[in-house]
Amino acid sequence: MTKTGIDVLPAEWANENVDRDRTHRRTIADCVDGILVRRKKFLVEKRRDDEDANPGLIEIPGGHVNPDETLEDALRREMKEELGIDVEKAKLVQKSLYTASNGEKQKIHYFHVEKWNGRIRSTEAERVYWESEISNLGIIPDRRAVRKVMTVQNLR
């Protein structure tokens, strides 16, 4: 299991012709998203309208990876915090680069949550619900990841 947090591109990767004092180091935040599937539908969250990033969008539940936290531990923590469930079995499906509406660069690690315990409830988003239309997802990487899970399970 890889420990991860925020990756910073080393200064030596900057273009040699650029003034190094004016070069900003770009950061990419690691994030985890959990794809839950039930009866040919997948779980989504509607983000609150007052969110800093992607307000009001329909997305796959997830969040940021803390420093010194494995991706798997972050997934378990985020699913507990956002949905109130305990992840028992999950498999990495895809990694995608994405820029949120607030400009944050993200590397999203999508997991298919194959088994979980607990009653799903919305604890941070405006609401969570089961969706059947992939096109209703607000961001393209979410659509690709869900399509991949649904295709593998032959649910589309």
What is the pLDDT at residue 154? 67
**Closest alpha carbon to 110 in 37, 26, 7:** 37
Helices marked H in the chain: 71-83, 140-152
Model pTM greater than 0.85? Answer: no
CB of 2 closer than 8 Å to CB of 70: yes
Determine the Cα–Cα distance for residues 37 and 150; give it in Å rounded to an integer: 8
User: How many alpha carbons fall within 13 Å on the CB side of residue 64?
Assistant: 13
CB atoms within 10 A of CB 74: 22
List the chain pLDDT tens, one digit each, 156 residues: 333 444 444 444 444 444 444 444 569 999 999 999 999 999 999 999 999 999 999 999 999 999 999 999 999 999 999 999 999 999 999 999 999 999 999 999 999 999 999 999 999 999 999 999 999 999 999 999 999 999 987 655
CATH topology of domain 3-152: Nucleoside Triphosphate Pyrophosphohydrolase (3.90.79)
